[in-house]
Structure 1
Amino acid sequence: MPLILGGDVGGTKAYLGLYRVDGEALEPVKVERYVSTDFAGVAELLAHFVEGCGQQPDRVVIGVPGPVKHTPVKPVNLPWTIDPEQIAKALGVPRLFLLNDLEATAYGTLALSDDDVIEINRGEPDPTGGMAIIAAGTGLGEAGLAWVDGRYVAVPSEGGHASFAPGTEREVELWGWLFSRHGHVSWERVVSGMGLVNIYEFLRHETPDDEPEWLRAQLCEPGAGARVISAAAQQHSVPLAGEALRMFVSLYGAEAGNLALKMLATGGLYIGGGIAPQILDELTEGSFMQAFTEKGRVSDVLQRIPVRVIKNDDTALLGAAYFGARMAQHVTHPNQGKL
């Protein structure tokens, strides 16, 4: 039975898995998680994993942040250059395939069960309609799925780097504050881990005395940022942090709605990334969907789109392995026929 090595390598964490294709299923042989920057590059990371497996994969598919059309690839948010030909030779495999990380996540949604998601808008799902995936984490990833010749095909995107369009006077002020510091202001500047930090710092700039001393001290610690701000809002009810988190959730909903319209995602929108599962209460309290559907004359289209939060951390990893198996026509998906 063929062995597929799938990977999801992000700016913070790396997920690698070796899967055996067993009939119509992917059977996990070994799955590991690593800190991406503990390794000098993808070649070293993969070699370490393969050595630990003690088995040679037949096919390798890795999802990485950033565009992968031309090689070598320089991933976004990682200090590496990835040359798939050199890495394939080093591993002793015929070829290494690269996917955009959200492209991998898109394929991974096809393998999710109901237990892997939380529904925040039931909508009216179209079984062959387009789908969209948005994922805020270290950065902001976006992708889609299009129904083509009886199966879904992922549509990669770098939409997170598109220009941020403020929708309220307050957001215009936020845009101006960010523009004065960075020039171009992308959606990733406001909807990501650094986005929450940027929003918080914008609000703090206006009312610095509202920041508790203990929170100021924590934010000075290495690795602090979105995690500390989110905790200050959720666990300590700090008004400044709470306001930042509310603005973040609203902006997340607004850009998710933009993406759903561009993909005409009548099959549903999935919210992935590491942030969403940590702020489920905020995502489900209403402001996300309000911003999602506030699109003027086409608001009714957005109201009919199912919206689900992904709980499974391994979605992109599953998608990479799924894609590897599909290339060899080894796997059938129960909902869409032959891969």
Structure 2
Amino acid sequence: MPFQNKFPLYFPYRKNEEHNGKSIIAADVKQDKTVLAHFTSNGGKLTQNHRREYLTKEFSCFSDMLKLFLRDVAIEKTDKISVSVPGPVMNGFCVTQHLPFELSETIIKTKTSIENVYLINDVEALAYGVGGMQENDFQVIHQGNSKIRGNVAIIAPGKGLGEAGMFWDGTFLRPFATEGGHSEFSPRTDEEVEFYQFLKKIYGIVTWESVLSYEGIFNIFRFLRDVKHQRETNVNFTDSSCYQEIIKEGLSGNDRTCVMALERLSEFIAREAHSLTLKLKSVGGLIITGDIVKSIEICLKNSNFYENFIVSDKMENILCNTPIYLLTNGEANLLGAAYYGAFGTN
């Protein structure tokens, strides 16, 4: 099967000539940094013309950042604005702890005088971005049975834990958002029960995001250090801002506790990916992405990851047939927001 046919996304207006020559502003809004870019559409494709990055915390509202971008790049006309946001979107509105401001399609329309404004969940945007990826943006972890068509699952651990799906309608894949990262963590082994109890004292309710995120990496590390009494050899990490150092020490093999933390992290990603695959029956594929994945690719290519993924009471056949891909292109959210704005909406 040609690569471009693996993920045939539903873009109802991609072949509509009225959607040619449109000017689209796409944004990927994150807690630390926001990327804004200007695209034009032609022949069902997008061309990026301008791109700027801004520190999110320096703005009290998104519209101010957007107006600054429009001044910076001197865009004469804007037909659509499409914004990827790290939280649930309901009725054109998003409130999330990850941002210093709320986002509203209505307010953005009012402040910019641009009629067509769309908010889209960031992992849903990422799913749309898959339609703009190339074969070299993916790495195959497990071939599975690529002849089986079906739903696709996406799991993206990073600042938080993002999860989304793509529903197979018989012809196309239709992305949708979930908030599965906030579902409760489920321990399997006796040690994981200890880990759960450790986290319960901290959070009260223990979600998968408490385990598969920047903060989750530190949680795993400090559980091994403080509860299982694994000795730190060369490092002294005190909070979740140290997650990159934990990964670095674990990959280098310099610190046994960091090595063990990455092993547990890989197992937990496999476990939650397993659950998401079964819940969505995503025989069309599992895409693993997110900022953490870029740093620990080697761990996910290890046979231990796949062995943990396929463990099941009755559904090993589905799991074995599911292709698994790593997506490491960090532009997928931005590109997906642009594609959604250009061809997914009228």
Q: TM-score normalized by structure 1?
A: 0.90
**Change in 2 beyond 3 A, CA 1:232/1:119:** same
Structure 2 SS opposite 1:215: coil
User: Please, which of 113, 132, 139 is the counterpart of residue 111 of structure 1?
Assistant: 132
Matches within 5 A, 1:154-233: 154-206=175-227, 210-212=231-233, 214-216=234-236, 219-220=237-238, 224-233=241-250
Residue in 2 that maps onto 1:65: 86
Structure 1 SS opposite 2:184: coil
1:150 aligns with 2:176: no
**Change in 2 beyond 3 A, CA 1:127/1:27:** farther
**Change in 2 beyond 3 A, CA 1:317/1:45:** same
Residue in 2 that maps onto 1:336: none
Residue in 2 that maps onto 1:271: 288
- Inter-partner Cα distance in structure 1 for 2:47 and 2:169: 27
1:11 aligns with 2:40: no
Give 1:44 shift.
2.4
User: Please, which of 45, 52, 59 is the counterpart of residue 65 of structure 2?
Assistant: 45
Note the alpha carbon deviations across 1:102-160, whole angstroms, 9 max, x for none: 11011111221111111111111246411011100000000000123632211210000
**Change in 2 beyond 3 A, CA 1:3/1:142:** same
1:75 aligns with 2:96: yes
**Change in 2 beyond 3 A, CA 1:37/1:284:** same
Q: Which amino acid aligns with 1:41?
A: C
Structure 1 SS opposite 2:291: coil
- Inter-partner Cα distance in structure 1 for 2:184 and 2:160: 14
- Inter-partner Cα distance in structure 1 for 2:309 and 2:230: 33
**Change in 2 beyond 3 A, CA 1:127/1:112:** farther
- Inter-partner Cα distance in structure 2 for 1:127 and 1:41: 45
Q: Which amino acid aligns with 1:325?
A: A
Q: Which amino acid aligns with 2:94?
A: V
- Inter-partner Cα distance in structure 1 for 2:152 and 2:306: 17
**Change in 2 beyond 3 A, CA 1:207/1:128:** closer
Give 1:226 shift.
1.1
* Counterpart contact for 1:15–1:314, Cα < 8 Å: no
Note the alpha carbon deviations across 1:254-300, whole angstroms, 9 max, x for none: 00111111111111111111110111111101222122111221012
Q: Which amino acid aligns with 1:42?
A: F
Q: Which amino acid aligns with 2:298?
A: D
Q: Runs of 5+ in structure 1 lacking a partner?
A: 330-339
Give 1:173 shift.
0.9
Indicate the percent of aligned positions where both proteins have the same amino acid. Answer: 30
- Inter-partner Cα distance in structure 2 for 1:209 and 1:137: 25
Give 1:26 shift.
0.6
Q: Which amino acid aligns with 1:125?
A: S
**Change in 2 beyond 3 A, CA 1:128/1:300:** closer
